[in-house]
């Protein structure tokens, strides 16, 4: 329990953004910083064993376990929406894939949303400064940052076949999707260091806590923000059986993510006025909080493997013990792998300006039976639609902070999104049909050989679409009336309050969101502290017209 009740900065959420902010802002040891996390400390060993993620992320003690509202375009199914409720946030329970997104994503923020300071050349120096890349530095990669990043190196012939097949199918090949060539199939990077997960808590928060000016409160539920007029002064939270009032001398920073940050804003009277009134909340400021919700819809294709590899049998009890012992003593082997060590950014058709589909490839098949994962002698390919046109919203279920918010993602509401996933099925089947998989490829499990007509594929997609865990956009940054924060993350119309997390993205990045979120937070820390931004890096990138 912290002794003082006043701090220079209070950060709500110890996830990817909150940990990064605490580390950078805390470098000035004259500043006192409080980080508040609703979940526990990240002590569970399965968090830190890379392959343990497939148990850890389903643990209700570490996960908010959100569900969407019934999605009308997914046969009224509710979609599981895991979010980290633990120190490190979702970076402690995700699959550790490190992807920055395509340079044109950031240039589009500048060109389409007037965010001129968010071009790729302005973001690249923060990506470089934030990482230590195991292969060393170059114009794109850093070697002295807090986040450990390691390229995939787990040996399995199915990875090799996937990469060769991508070339044979004409889908391209890249040595580094985060480098010069952000297109094609490749071995993927992971947020790992010495065979262990390198979460935002490991990379950023632990060093920050050692300085002595950063305090962490876990298992603490923030109920609402407090204001003096239009200035945020702090918050009220439940800590154990006590209700505490904590005050911020300079700023309160919300880093709860695309679901929790808009929820807390609305509970505090900041959001659509008519919606707040319906829940008996007096509006302080009418802003489009909770709108512009976006995510990467994902489908998973699986194929039998004609060869059995050790990874296919790792769920057997004696194999688990052997693999676990190997990791404990060497930090190597299957347990040191995040499994999705290959993937790609590809184009579903010839008209898109840059890749609109993403692969994550794993050399093992699986299904969940209850809360347990059952492995198959197979391989699996996630296919994500990267730039959806459908938009959803976050809404309050009630004025009770403990009630989970209502989330309508409206997956596939726009027919364009369904068509791109249809193309994703076609591209994946083309890739797996290539000679590189001859002798390795068995029967198609999902969707299955009986799913052939366009209508059959569409029906399967509606029944099979899930999330790839990348919600964003609900506190959009920009300059118009449809924005919640400005390009320095200040909540419009208020003082002393910012939102810094994936919710500020005006448009979802065309890849996984953990790395972009940490980059955003690192830039935000410099804005908040009044430090100059890092010098732009005008590094070229491969681009096919």
**In the annotation, is 470 catalytic?**
yes
**CA–CA separation, 360 and 340 (whole Å):** 6
Cβ neighbors of 215 (< 8 A, separation 6 or more) are 2, 7, 32, 33, 34, 35
**CA–CA separation, 506 and 110 (whole Å):** 10
Q: What is the DSSP string of 37-82?
A: -SS--S--HHHHSGGGHHHHTT-TTTB--EEPPPBGGGTTB--EE-
Judge whether 81 is annotated as a binding position. no
What 3-state DSSP class applies to 329? helix
Strand pairing category for 231-239 and 242-254: antiparallel
**CA–CA separation, 79 and 471 (whole Å):** 12
* CA-wise closest residue to 361 among 379, 388, 374: 379
Judge whether 508 is annotated as a binding position. no
Reading phi first (left if > 0) and then psi (alpha if -120 to 50, else beta), residue 202 is in alpha
**C-alpha distances out from residue 4 to 1, 115, 139, 269, 383, Å:** 9, 38, 44, 27, 49
Angle between helices 120-130 and 103-113 in degrees, nearest 10: 140
Helix (H) or strand (E) holding 233: strand 231-239
Do the beta carbons of residue 266 and residue 260 sit within 8 Å?
Answer: no
Judge whether 266 is annotated as a binding position. no
Judge whether 97 is annotated as a binding position. yes
**CA–CA separation, 468 and 411 (whole Å):** 12
**CA–CA separation, 227 and 61 (whole Å):** 32
Judge whether 519 is annotated as a binding position. no
Q: Which two tokens stand for residue 446?
A: 């999902």
Q: 102, 150, 382, 470: which one is catalytic?
A: 470
Cβ neighbors of 115 (< 8 A, separation 6 or more) are 109, 477, 478, 487, 506
- Residues flagged as binding site: 86, 94-97, 222
Q: Would you list which residues are annotated within the binding site for FAD?
A: 86, 94-97, 222
* Active site (catalytic) residues: 470
């Amino acid at each position: 329990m912290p002794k003082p009740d006043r701090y220079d900065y209070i950060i709500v959420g110890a996830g990817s953004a909150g940990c990064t902010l605490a580390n950078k802002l805390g470098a000035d040891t004259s500043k006192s910083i409080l980080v508040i996390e609703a979940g526990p400390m990240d002590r569970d060993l399965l968090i830190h064993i890379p392959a343990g993620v497939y148990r850890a992320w389903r643990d209700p003690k570490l996960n908010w376990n959100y569900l969407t509202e019934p999605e009308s375009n997914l046969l009224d199914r509710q979609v599981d929406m895991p979010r980290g409720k633990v120190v490190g946030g979702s970076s402690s329970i995700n699959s550790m894939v490190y992807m920055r997104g395509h340079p044109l994503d950031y240039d589009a923020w500048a060109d389409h949303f007037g965010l001129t300071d968010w071009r790729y050349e302005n973001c690249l120096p923060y990506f470089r400064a934030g990482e230590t890349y195991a292969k060393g530095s170059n114009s794109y990669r850093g070697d002295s940052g807090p986040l450990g990043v390691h390229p995939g190196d787990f040996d399995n012939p199915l990875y090799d076949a996937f990469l060769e097949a991508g070339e044979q199918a004409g889908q391209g090949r890249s040595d580094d999707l985060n480098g010069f060539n952000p297109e094609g199939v490749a071995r993927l990077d992971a947020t790992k260091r010495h065979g262990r997960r390198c979460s935002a808590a490991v990379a950023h928060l632990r060093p920050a806590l050692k300085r002595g000016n950063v305090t962490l409160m876990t298992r603490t539920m923030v109920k609402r923000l407090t204001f003096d007029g239009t200035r945020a002064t702090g918050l009220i939270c439940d800590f154990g059986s006590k209700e505490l009032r904590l005050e911020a001398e300079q700023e309160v920073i919300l880093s709860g993510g695309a679901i929790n940050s808009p929820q807390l804003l609305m509970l505090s009277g900041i959001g659509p006025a008519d919606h707040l009134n319906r829940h008996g909340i007096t509006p302080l400021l009418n802003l489009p909080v909770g709108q512009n919700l976006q995510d990467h819809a994902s489908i998973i294709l699986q194929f039998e493997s004609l060869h059995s590899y050790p990874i296919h049998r790792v769920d057997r009890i004696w194999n688990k013990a052997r693999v676990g012992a190997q990791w404990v003593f060497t930090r190597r082997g299957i347990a040191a792998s995040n499994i999705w060590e290959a993937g790609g950014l590809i184009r579903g058709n010839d008209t898109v300006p840059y890749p609109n589909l993403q692969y994550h490839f794993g050399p093992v098949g699986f299904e969940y039976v209850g809360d347990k994962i059952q492995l198959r002698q197979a391989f699996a390919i996630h296919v994500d639609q990267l730039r959806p046109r459908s938009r959803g919203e976050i809404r309050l279920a009630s004025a009770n902070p403990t009630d989970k918010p209502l989330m309508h993602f409206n997956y596939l509401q726009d027919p364009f999104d369904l068509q791109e996933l249809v193309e994703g099925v076609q591209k994946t089947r083309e890739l797996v049909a290539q000679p590189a998989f001859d002798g390795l490829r068995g029967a198609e499990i999902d969707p299955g050989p009986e799913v052939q007509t366009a209508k059959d594929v569409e029906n399967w997609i509606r029944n099979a679409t899930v999330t790839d865990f990348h919600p964003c956009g609900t506190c959009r940054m920009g300059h118009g009336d449809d924005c919640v924060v400005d390009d320095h993350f200040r909540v419009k119309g208020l003082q002393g309050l910012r939102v810094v997390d994936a919710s500020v993205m005006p448009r979802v990045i065309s890849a996984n969101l953990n790395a972009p979120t940490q980059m955003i937070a690192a830039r935000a820390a410099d804005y908040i502290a009044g430090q100059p931004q890092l010098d732009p890096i005008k590094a070229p990138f491969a681009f096919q017209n």
